[in-house]
Amino acid sequence: QDTTTDERGTSTKGIKAGGGMYLNGGTYQIDSADDSIHSNANITIADGTYTLATGDDGVHADDALIVNGGTITVTESYEGLEGLTVTINDGTIDITASDDGINTAGEKMELNGGYIHILAGGDGVDSNGDLTINGGEIYIDGPSDNGNSAIDYGDRSSAYVNGGTLVAISSGMAEVMSDSSKQKVLMVKLGEQMEAGNVVLTDSEGNVIVSYTALKTYDCVIISTAEVESGATYTLTTSGTTTEVTAE
């Protein structure tokens, strides 16, 4: 554990900056009681390998958090990534969080590329403003209770899926995507809790569109890919149970 000291005394954060932080390489393994990587301003991660275990946030920016590349593995956290705004353009990200996987405290969250997997006890992704997904591969094992959702966004905001692959599973509460999304989104509320296991979406000819292994029990599945077409009917197989669903 790395500690830093400021005018308030000893910090239990791993890496801490009072100003902006730019990380463009290296290998970091941090086990910290507080945030593993923290800035009182902006953080940009361009490259590098980060293995983080923390009692609070894996990466926390008081202002903007931008990920342009690198490999970020958060093995234990309260929240995995947090910023006033969060933009992910590329990289490989794997988050385990007792609360939210990725959280924005302010205006917006944009997921534009890369590979993201989230195992969350709270919301998988939680934007207190708009949520926009433009690309990348995003897989979310969300909460198994009614108090949170795999995808959550602000009360007066919207969530858009314009590209990429999204697979989000959870129980209970579920937020719908905006009708203004450029890519079709399937949201299936199942009639019962499904056990952890394979989630497979096939088209009318039996071609596999999505195959994912759920890590938790769930009763809601959200899927969006470029292959999902308006008016087409698909078969969703969950723990051996099949459900027919039509993209509207």
> Which pLDDT band holds residue 10 (cuts at 50, 70, 90)?
low
Q: Pick the range with the lowest mean pLDDT from 4-13, 80-89, 126-135.
A: 4-13
pTM of this prediction?
0.92
Q: 179 near 159, Cβ under 8 Å?
A: no
Distances (CA, A) of 112 to 11, 16, 241: 33, 27, 33
Give yes or no for residue 147 having a pLDDT over 50. yes
Cross-strand partners of 54: 32
Give yes or no for residue 1 having a pLDDT over 50. no
207 burial level (CB within 10 Å; 0-12, 13-18, 19+): exposed
Tell which wins on pLDDT, 209 or 172.
209
- pLDDT at site 69: 98
**Nearest Cα to Cα of residue 238 among 198, 202, 203:** 198
What pLDDT, in 10s, does the model give residues 57-73?
A: 999 999 999 999 999 99
CA dihedral sign of residues 21, 81, 45, 129 = negative
Tell which wins on pLDDT, 175 or 4.
175
Q: 224 near 165, Cβ under 8 Å?
A: yes
How far apart are alpha carbons 111 and 113 in whole angstroms?
Answer: 6
Give yes or no for residue 247 having a pLDDT over 90. no
What pLDDT, in 10s, does the model give residues 109-131?
A: 999 999 999 999 999 999 989 99
Mean pLDDT on 208-223:
93
The mean of the pLDDT values for the chain is: 91
Tell which wins on pLDDT, 155 or 23.
23
62: helix, strand or coil: strand
